[in-house]
Structure 1
Amino acid sequence: MLENGLHDIPPGKIAMIVTYLEMITKPVTKDVPLPQGVSFRRVQADAAWYRDIFTRVGALDWLWYGRLRLNDAALQKILGNSKVEIFTLSLDGQDEALLELDFREDGSCELAYFGLTSRLIRTGSGRYLMNQAISRAWEKPIERMHVHTCTIDSPQALGFYRRSGFKPIRQAVEIDDDPRILGLLPESAAPNVPVLRS
C-alpha cells in the first residue's frame, strides 16, 4: 500500500493512475447514425493491419504500447482467437478506428481497445462505435462488460466511458518502462508525457 505523499518515478519509467470500470447490465443506448462517408465492419486482422491501426489510434498520441511489445506470432495468436472480435470504422477507404472485444474470460467481455484517429473525433463516430461495442457484447451470455483507462490516455476517455454506462470500481498506480526509451515508439510520441532519462 502506498503511503500518503509524493513518490519519485525512476528514470526510464512512466507512471499512470489506472481506472477500472464495468457495467453489469446492458444500458439503454441512443441510436446515432454513422457520419456520411463512414462505414463500419468487422476485421479478420493480421499483425500488420493491427499494428498500423493501433499505432495511429493510440500509440503516437496516447502512448498505447502493450501490444507493440508482442512479436508477430504472439499478437497473431490473440487476433486469431475466435473469442476476440475486432471492428473498425473506415473513411474514404482508410481504416480510422479500433474496437476490440475480448470474450476469452467466461461470462465477461473486456473492451480491450477502443479509439478513433483524429479524422473521426467529434463526428459522432465514437458514440456509434461504442453503441456497437455495447450491443455486440451483450448479445453474448455475459454478466459484465469491463474496460480500463489511465491518466496518459485521452483526457476524454474516462468521461466518455462513464457516460456510456460504465461505473468505476477501482484504481491502481502503474509504473512501467517508457516505450519511447525502449524504442517501441519514437521519442516524439505523446508529448504530454515527459521522457525521464537517467
Structure 2
Amino acid sequence: MSTPVTTWYLEQNAPEELRPAAEPALPGVTVVRAEVPSGVLGRFLYAAVGGDVSWVDRLPWPAEQWQAHLERPGAEVWIAYERGTPAGYIELDAQDEGAVEIAYFGLLPAFRGRGLGGHLLSFGTARAWDLAGRWPGRPETRRVWVHTCSLDGPHALGNYQRRGFRVTHTTVSH
C-alpha cells in the first residue's frame, strides 16, 4: 500500500500580497538570472535540489527537451549563490491569462535552514509580479501560483504561506 501524497495549490492575486522575507544574514548572497538558457544547467539544478525530495518527473528528459523547455518565451531561471556557489533556484513560467507559475523552487541540501529559502522565494515572487511587458504579447500579471506536496521539504508549505500565498485547494492521491 502506498503512502498518500497531499498536494497544496497556492496563489497570490496582487503584488501587495507578497510578504518578503528578511535579507539573509549571510555574506555574499546574490540572486542572478540565468540569461542564457542551458538545458545542462537546468537539469543540474533540478537534480541537485530535488534529488532528496522525490523530484523525478523531469529526470528522463533528453538534453534537447531540457533546452527547448528553457528557451520558451516566458521561462526564467533565477539562481541564488552564496559567495559564488549555487545554493538554489527558482523557475518561473509565464502562462496565458496573466498567470505566472513558480514551476520549481528549492535549495541544495547543504544550503537549507540558513535563511536563503525565504529570500529566494521573495525575490522570485516579486519577479513573477514584474513580468508584465517583459515578453511580447505578455499581459499584466494577475496571478502568481505554485503547488507543493507532502514529498517536498518539510518547510516548503510554510515558506509559501509566510510569503503571502493562500491555499486554494488540496488534493490527495494514493
**1:38-117 map, 5 Å:** 38-43=29-34, 44-59=36-51, 61-117=52-108
Deviations 1:98-123 (A, max 9, x none): 10010033310101011011332222
Residues 174/46 of structure 1: CA separation in 2 closer, same or farther (3 Å cut) = farther
SS of the counterpart of 1:57? helix
Q: Rg bigger for which structure?
A: 1
Matched, 1:137 2:128: yes
**Richer in helix (by share):** 2
Instruction: Give distance in 1, aligned partners of 2:104 and 2:10.
Output: 14
Residue ranges of structure 2 left out of the alignment (5+ in a row)? 133-139
The answer to whether the 8 Å contact 2:11/2:143 transfers is yes
Distance between the aligned counterparts of 1:68 and 1:147, measured in 2?
20
The 1:162/1:33 distance shift into structure 2, 3 A limit, reads closer
CA contact (8 A) 1:84 1:104 kept: no
Q: Which runs of 5+ in 1 are unaligned?
A: 1-7, 176-198
3-state SS, counterpart of residue 97 of structure 2: coil
Q: 1:105 to 1:65 in 2, by over 3 A?
A: farther
8 Å contact from structure 1 (residues 53, 96) kept in 2: no
What is the CA-CA distance between 1:53 and the residue it aligns to?
A: 1.3
TM-score after normalising by structure 2: 0.84
- Tell me the distance in 2 between the aligned counterparts of 1:160 and 1:87: 18
User: What's the CA shift for 1:30?
Assistant: 4.0
| Deviations 1:66-117 (CA, angstroms, capped at 9, x unpaired) | 2213222222111011210101012243212110010033310101011011
CA RMSD of aligned residues (A): 1.9
> Which residue identity lines up with residue 48 of structure 2 in the other structure?
R
Percent of matched pairs sharing the same residue: 29
